[in-house]
Amino acid sequence: MESGPIVRSAGRDDVMAICRFGEEHVLACYTPLLGEEEAARQVRMWWNTTNIAGAVARGAVVVAEDGGRLAGVGQRGLDGGEHVIRKLYALPRYRGLGSRLLEVLIGRLPAGVERVYAEHLVADERAAAFFEREGFTVEPSARPRLGIVRRVRGSTGARRPS
């Protein structure tokens, strides 16, 4: 029997819990990187019921649940025709959960997708290190835009050894 969080597709009944997760946990991650005002603005913009409900309806969100409480959230989306990991957050006490969420998101990409992108704040050194461990690289032509770094990985590519 598996212990720890179960990763599953988010459903309509998860929308409010996902929004609360953003307000409680993502805001705490963003504040030291962006400052209190900008962090709150980002959470309002990206973790609101309209955005989350739309992504859930498209089947683009997965959650990790432990004992009826959210332990992590992952979301993918499209930018033009490119598949992008938009959100990937796990509570710190769940070591390895970010990797599980990522692999579930990648595993749900349509057949034939050769690469997947991930985005994170330039100032987020933990996210940078995580995505590097997961085999994502910054493309030489990619330049940070609006404080965001974009990385790429072959969707079926193996992770680098830790």
Question: pLDDT band for position 144 (50/70/90)?
Answer: low
Does 1 reside within a domain?
Answer: no
pLDDT recorded at residue 116: 95
Residue 115: pLDDT over 70: yes
Determine the structural domain holding residue 146 and report its residue range. 6-154
pLDDT band at 142 (very low <50, low <70, confident <90, very high): low
94 located within any domain: yes
Q: How many domains does the chain have?
A: 1
Measured CA to CA in angstroms, residue 61 lies from 57, 132, 133, 153 at distances of 9, 22, 22, 20
Question: For 36-60, what is the mean pLDDT?
Answer: 96
- Report if residue 73 sits inside a domain: yes
47 inside domain:
yes
